[in-house]
Structure 1
């Protein structure tokens, strides 16, 4: 499938590309941080990425800039960014592996369900409200953990628990929708 320049170079698509470019920048800042300021910069990068994720969707809908390439780019940028964050945070926070497992299970499950549904000529169009809430909570909690790596274990564990709860809730609710779509007639 060929795309024309007008479909590729929309503001939402450019914002998604910027988010992808920011991933190695974030990873480098976070893993090589030598001062509190370096961690804050890494946190600002994540905050900026989260805000552009929100803004690109608003712009796409408001200015009719929804494109097929954008439907691919946006979720890829989201998942690559989120994966980079949780894997980096595993270096500093003992129980982050639980969030990594929840994240991987949720995302792999959604990928598998989407493949199953595509084979039935069905698809879920865009994120549902609980996916958006889960993403917002993820970015809020993880930004705090990135920017303030010396927070107490209790606060870090609380932020991970909140993030984990919303990841799990999103996983359960999406699974319910996917099962319903799978079982509905063709």
Structure 2
């Protein structure tokens, strides 16, 4: 089964749309962010890194709004947007382990969650079904993640109790999202198997 076909792509209509360009920009700024944060020597470096994450988070919200409002939803965009999201979240989480060791918990849960969703999504395709877009709890988790990482970058000298509280809050919403997506996939698999037996 093909997830999408490039045979009939119109570059202007299907590839070089504003939402897709924004997703590509989010991916391209990751090496810049990583170079700055992993070699940070001053508050200014942290502020610049925080600014890049803020920009990334805003473009993440904008590309979806623009895609829906101006009918620029494409098959490439459906693939590119979540890839940009996951790469960005992973890059931020891993980079901050250098400053906050507790971030390893976040990295582990994030990787397990994304692998679960990737494998579950692929298995669902075998039944010609897929999850119908991001759910509210996924969006809330992503918003909390970006806000929390922005705080960690902007206030690296804040009391450790506050910083680790922020990490704990992020971990809570990530786990909540993981559990609720797990439930969604469970019901989707259950429905898919039921339909297969009835066919």
What is the TM-score when the length of structure 2 is the normalising length? 0.91
| Counterparts of 2:27 and 2:56, CA distance in 1 | 9
SS of match in other structure, 1:40: helix
| Counterparts of 1:19 and 1:118, CA distance in 2 | 28
Q: Give 5+ residue unaligned stretches, structure 1.
A: none
| Counterparts of 2:86 and 2:145, CA distance in 1 | 12
Q: 2:97 aligns with which of 90, 95, 112?
A: 90
* Runs of 4+ more than 6 Å apart: none
Q: 1:72 aligns with which of 73, 79, 83?
A: 79
Alignment of 1:131-170 (within 5 A): 131-170=138-177
Deviations 1:132-179 (A, max 9, x none): 000000000011112222222111110011100100000000000000
SS of match in other structure, 2:19: helix
| Counterparts of 2:108 and 2:39, CA distance in 1 | 25
| Counterparts of 1:16 and 1:147, CA distance in 2 | 24
Larger radius of gyration: 2
Residue of structure 2 equivalent to 1:29? 36
| Counterparts of 1:108 and 1:28, CA distance in 2 | 26
Residue of structure 2 equivalent to 1:4? 10
The structural deviation recorded for 1:101 is: 1.1
Q: 1:61 aligns with which of 68, 74, 78?
A: 68
**Does 1:81 pair with 2:88?**
yes
SS of match in other structure, 1:127: coil
Q: 1:120 aligns with which of 111, 114, 127?
A: 127
Cα RMSD of the aligned pairs, angstroms, is 0.8
| Counterparts of 1:133 and 1:90, CA distance in 2 | 23
Q: Give 5+ residue unaligned stretches, structure 2.
A: none
More RCO (CA 8 Å, sep 6+):
1
The structural deviation recorded for 1:21 is: 0.5
| Counterparts of 2:91 and 2:165, CA distance in 1 | 21
